[in-house]
Amino acid sequence: MFASLRRSMVARILGIGAVALVTSGSQVSCNGGEGSVRIGDPPPQPQLESGSTSFTTFLVLKDSAGNEKYAYQPGELITFEVTVRNRTTQPATVSFTGYAGTVDVFNNGTDDSIWNPFDDRVFAQVVQTDTIDAGESQIYRFTWNQLLETGSNLPLGIYEARGRLFARVTLGGPNGAEVDDRDLRSTLRQFTIN
């Protein structure tokens, strides 16, 4: 009995250690799904059509005090706030593994991502679901200390960032119409490191 209990406790401790190891890394913090925010009455859009605007995704950059900002000093913390709004009259099912929202940082004018909060992170391949109700938004925040995966600091220069929902989104339930990926990406936001 005691051997079985000890094995069970050791297995739990190893599991906790594995989770701590997987989630450790450079200073990056993430939070999301901080409750839904009601944003007015949604326009009536019961169906998805080609080029739809069923969802709107915004990206805002902020400093450590929570003020919107687009010019930073080297090493200064940058908070990326990604807001995804369901503009339809139907609830949306969001299916994802790991984390639903994300942000990519690019060298100005390129398509090569130089940072993403989940670079070199491993997630259990368990599909999770969330719901964004009609007319509501989900907010995802990521804080970055400008440290690249190589261990070097982000050099001075001009950069671009794009927020996106990294998930499969369907309206009216898991088997409903799938939302176009274009609706789940923000426009590029330019920022500088001076």
Give, in degrees to the nearest 5, the angle at Cα 129 between 125 and 134.
155
Report which of 37, 13, 49 is spatially closest to residue 178, judged by C-alpha positions: 49
Place of tokens 């070097």: 152
Rounded Cα–Cα distance for residues 45 and 84 (Å): 16
Report which of 26, 62, 67, 25 is spatially closest to residue 154, judged by C-alpha positions: 26
Give, in degrees to the nearest 5, the angle at Cα 12 between 8 and 16.
170
Which residue ranges form the domains of the chain, and what is each CATH number? 27-193 (2.60.40.2360)
pLDDT in tens, the chain (194 residues): 444 444 554 444 444 443 333 333 334 444 444 433 333 333 333 333 334 568 899 999 999 999 999 999 999 999 999 999 999 998 988 887 766 788 999 998 888 889 988 866 555 567 788 889 999 999 999 999 999 988 899 999 999 999 998 787 888 766 777 887 777 899 999 999 99
CB 92 within 8 A of CB 86: yes
Backbone angles phi, psi at 85, to 5 degrees: -115, 130
Number of neighbouring beta carbons within 10 Å of residue 37: 12
Give, in degrees to the nearest 5, the angle at Cα 162 between 104 and 166.
70
Number of neighbouring beta carbons within 10 Å of residue 190: 13
